[in-house]
């Protein structure tokens, strides 16, 4: 917006120098999504609604949505090169996307295990935290945890998100639906509308209203189902 004074912000990361692995680039785009949201949504009258101060169910959606750009061959070709400066081949990106989709439902079940552990440790307050964590992982995913590893101790989001880790998966539902509002990942008109309707309001409007303003309808789970490999009805 012309004349708008945007707040200053920065990402502090510990990525390696030189070449980065694709997963590291994906992480950078994710965190950059938070940064852009914080900057563009930071010009609010009240600090409580500034930047990423939206509902927990929504706060990860813009950053998860931006991850899609690192799976697009055209986008990657604009900056992703090897030591000689050769852009990443489109056929390699296609194979990467196929590999990423393999076992995706299993990964979601693991995420639901994290969500259950997050919720039940805070709500049930079990005397044996390790046993309770192992139980919820066991009933959530066929991938078992090694006994005696105290997996909860490595679950950093327990102290950051408390009982709300489920929001990562719920935000992904919204993120997949937001992508349907783009005519193309590099379409300027779609990006401008997304900035105006989703990012710039910060938290001064309910997230459901932001999404409906951008999509022209309430959000649905259809895009998320397709993401998991389930045909839409």
| Residue 38 to residue 44: CA distance in whole angstroms | 11
Residue 147 annotated among the catalytic residues of the structure: no
Active-site pick, 8, 21, 31, 197? 31
* CB 118 within 8 Å of CB 162: yes
Cα–Cα nearest to 33, from 198, 161, 223? 198
Please return the burial class of 207, using the count of CB atoms within 10 Å of its CB with bins 0-12, 13-18 and 19+.
buried
| Residue 76 to residue 96: CA distance in whole angstroms | 12
**DSSP assignment string, 64-127:** HHHGGGGG-HHHHHTT-B-TT-PBPPHHHHHHHHHHHHTTHHHHHHHHHHHHHHHHHHHHH--S
| Residue 53 to residue 176: CA distance in whole angstroms | 21
Q: Which residues are catalytic?
A: 31
């Amino acid at each position: 917006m012309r004349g708008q004074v945007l707040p200053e912000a920065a990402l502090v990361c510990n990525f390696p120098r030189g070449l980065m692995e694709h997963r590291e680039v994906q992480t950078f785009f994710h965190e950059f999504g938070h940064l852009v949201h914080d900057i563009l949504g930071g010009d609010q009258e009240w600090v409580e609604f500034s930047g990423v101060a939206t509902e927990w169910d929504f706060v990860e959606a813009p950053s998860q949505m931006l991850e899609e750009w690192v799976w697009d061959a055209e986008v990657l070709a604009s900056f992703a090169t090897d030591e000689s400066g050769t852009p990443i081949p489109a056929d390699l990106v296609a194979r990467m996307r196929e590999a990423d989709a393999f076992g995706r439902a299993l990964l979601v079940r693991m995420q639901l295990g994290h969500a259950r552990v997050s919720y039940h440790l805070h709500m049930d307050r079990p005397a044996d935290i390790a046993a309770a964590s192992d139980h919820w992982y066991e009933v959530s995913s066929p991938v078992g945890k090694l006994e005696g590893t105290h997996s909860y101790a490595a679950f950093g989001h327990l102290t950051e998100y408390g009982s709300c880790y489920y929001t990562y998966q719920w935000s992904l539902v919204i993120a997949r639906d937001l992508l349907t509002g783009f005519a193309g990942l590099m379409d300027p008109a779609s990006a401008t509308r997304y900035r105006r309707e989703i990012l710039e309001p910060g938290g001064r409007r309910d997230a459901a209203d932001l999404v409906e303003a951008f999509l022209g309808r309430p959000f649905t789970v259809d895009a998320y189902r397709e993401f998991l490999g389930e045909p839409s009805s």
